[in-house]
Amino acid sequence: MTPRIIPVELFDLVVFGATGVLSQRKLLPALFHRDLQGQIPPGSRIIGCSRRTLSREDFTAFARKAIEDHVPASERPDDVMGRFLERLSYVTADAAQDAGWADLAQTLKPEADRVRVFYLAVGPDLFGPLCEKLASFDLVTPRTRVVIEKPLGKSGASARALNEAIGRVVSEPQVYRIDHYLGKETVQNLMALRFANALFEPVWNSGHVDHVQITVAETLGVEGRAGYYDTAGALRDMVQNHMLQLLCLVAMEPPTSTAANALRDEKLKVLKALKPITGDGVQNLTVRGQYRAGAANGGAVKGYLEELGSASSKTETFVAIKAEIANWRWSGVPFYLRTGKRLPSRVSEIVVTFKPIPHSVFDGQAGPIAPNRLVIRLQPDEGVKLWLMIKDPGPGGMRLSYVPLDMSFADAFNVRNPDAYERLLMDVVRGNQALFMRRDEVEAAWEWIDPILESWSASAEIPKQYTAGTWGPSAAVALIERDGRTWYEDHDLD
């Protein structure tokens, strides 16, 4: 299948933090890929900006290396590389000083009518100061968009403060808060699955769904990010954003359209309907863990504290939560969430388990009848599996087997899966906010997370230890097994 390109308008993109890790690993390779696909109009410019004093040549050398490191050789023909590097320029500017800003203004001025994107690929403490500089050097035009990404605060209060600082300079329709999970192909497929098929919607409720599991498991540890990670932990790093966004897409009511606010209104209702987890609830409904040394990715790995180089830390590298949504559709249906680092495999999936059949017409020799399950695999091996009971083929009476209707997207569509940033960056240029979080969503997510964080930090307990390469602490197994259910593990069923 040939990928389709939706043309975008001519744009100027200024990347603050242009020499940082996000720019190097994600933004430059994603922009290069879009250029390769012919989506970036001739004349569009990418302006790197950071505190470091670099020449244009230094920056293009940095960009070339970033692309060589992150784009396979077969996908970077010389002519496209040349064309891409031609688009780049560089300005040295610092959020704390005025030097350099006039140069940036000068560079942008001749193209004041273009779509203008400021990507703040920097720490959140710089969001406010950078926005002030944009205002004081008069860089915000009506077609300006500002892109930020997590950590969007450490709590509800700090998220509100960030939002206010940005809101003083640009209006909400100009702010693009990235949650890269929303740019993943399969996450968008969730919407196609739910709203482009008539099959699921009638059974997508507490009358038919027993429970939902959302797992985002990683084999990696903190990979040199221990400094950031130790101030965040899995709840802030993964649950407040990615996992709650996934939960919203599973649980929301059908929006009236895919218009940004129609979608975001529905997600917000889900976040507001999450049952607060407070007091004893935190003890009973949440589990936090921290990995100790073990084996992962085929070799021995250090424990979290050793990676951190510290004798103690209460930061969790694993979380499991039993969440509930207090609304008509989902009342009584648990949503079990779990995420962690140094787990046995890298897998992100959503599993919707339906209720058992009300009565079996088969006799004992047919064997047990398992409930239907719909498994949406986000990564790797993106696809959808629907587990069904069927008759075992051949003679020998009526014996039943549990087998999946299995659709792997790689097999069904022979097309490269674009990185989430490719889509998200082009959506920013197009002015489509559907896959970006609105201010009220972020704040509502924090409102649910805050009491859990507060209770953990007030408690003398430390996270439960788990050995690297295992599925987290045994308390996470107990969390779901207490309810007579088990975590879904595909290899058990295959």
Q: Would you call 242 a catalytic residue per the annotation?
A: yes
Return phi, psi of residue 329, to 5°.
-70, -40
- If binding is defined by CB under 6 A, does position 316 make contact with ligand BG6? no
Pairing, β 11-16 against β 383-391:
unpaired
Residue 186 or 348 having the CB closest to ligand BG6: 348
Give the strands of the sheet with 175-178, arranged side by side.
88-92, 45-50, 11-16, 115-120, 144-149, 175-178, 436-437
Choose between 313 and 474: whose C-beta lies nearer to ligand BG6: 313
Contact (Cβ atoms closer than 8 angstroms) between residue 438 and residue 259 = no
Nearer to ligand BG6, 26 or 373 (CB): 26
Distances in Å between the Cα of 160 and the Cα atoms of 34, 263, 339, 437, 442 are 34, 22, 26, 14, 9
Q: How far is the CB of 327 from ligand BG6 (least distance, A)?
A: 28
**Residue 385 C-beta: closest distance to ligand BG6, Å:** 19
CA distances from 435 to 3, 211, 351, 396 (A): 20, 26, 22, 52
Cα distances from 219 to residues 216, 336, 348, 466, 487, in angstroms, run: 10, 20, 11, 13, 18
Based on the shown chain and the rule CB under 6 A, indicate whether residue 218 belongs to the binding site for ligand BG6: yes
Should residue 230 be labelled a site residue for ligand BG6 when binding is judged by CB under 6 A?
A: no
Cβ at position 250, least distance to ligand BG6 in Å: 17
Shorter beta-carbon distance to ligand BG6: residue 163 or 348: 348
What are the C-alpha distances in Å from 316 to residues 188, 222, 229, 256, 291?
29, 11, 9, 39, 8
Question: Residue 388 CA to chain centroid, in angstroms?
Answer: 30
Q: How far apart are CA 164 and CA 117, in angstroms?
A: 19
Q: Smallest gap, in angstroms, from Cβ of residue 223 to ligand BG6?
A: 8
Comparing CB distances to ligand BG6, the nearer of 81 and 234 is 234
CB of 375 to ligand BG6, least distance (A): 17
Looking at the Cβ atoms of 185 and 253, the one nearer to ligand BG6 is 185
Q: Is 237 in the site for ligand BG6 (CB under 6 A)?
A: yes
Tell me how many residues contact ligand BG6 (CB under 6 A).
3
Closest residue to ligand BG6, judged by C-beta, is 237
Tokens of residue 41, six digits: 């109009």
Least distance (Å) from ligand BG6 to the CB of residue 348?
6
Binding mask 107-136 for ligand BG6 (x = CB under 6 A): ------------------------------
Of 168, 111, 116, the closest CA to residue 143 belongs to: 116
- In the bound state with ligand BG6, the residue whose beta carbon lies nearer, of 81 and 246, is 246
Least Å distance, CB 26 to ligand BG6, is 10
At its nearest, how many Å lie between ligand BG6 and the CB of residue 326? Answer: 28
Give the H or E element holding residue 442: helix 439-458
End-to-end CA distance of the chain: 29
Q: Where are the beta strands (DSSP E) in 293-329?
A: 294-296, 299-301, 318-323
Note whether 427 binds ligand BG6 by CB under 6 A.
no
Smaller CB separation from ligand BG6, 237 or 349: 237
Residues comprising the chain, all counted = 494
> Shortest Cβ distance from residue 181 to ligand BG6 (Å)?
7
Q: Which is nearer to ligand BG6, 261 or 379 (CB)?
A: 379
In what helix (H) or strand (E) does residue 146 lie, and over which residues does it extend? strand 144-149
Our CB check for ligand BG6 shows the closer of 234 and 251 to be 234
- Helices 260-273, 244-251: axis angle to 10 degrees equals 100
- Per CB under 6 A, contacts with ligand BG6 among 325-354 are 348
Neighbours of 128 (CB within 10 A): 17
Binding positions for ligand BG6, 52-91, rule CB under 6 A:
none
- Close Cβ partners of 266 (under 8 Å, ≥ 6 residues apart): 248, 252, 253, 254, 255
State the catalytic residue, choosing from 33, 180, 242, 491.
Answer: 242
Whole-number minimum distance, CB 290 to ligand BG6, in Å?
A: 15
* Beta-sheet pairing, 347-354 with 209-217: antiparallel
Q: What angle do CA 250, 254, 256 make, to 5 degrees?
A: 145
Q: Which of 492, 203, 250 is nearest to 372 (CA)?
A: 203
CA-to-CA dists, residue 297 to 221, 224, 468, angstroms: 10, 17, 10
- Residues 255/265, Cβ–Cβ less than 8 Å: yes
Catalogue the active-site residues.
242
Give the footprint of ligand BG6 on this chain (CB under 6 A). 218, 237, 348
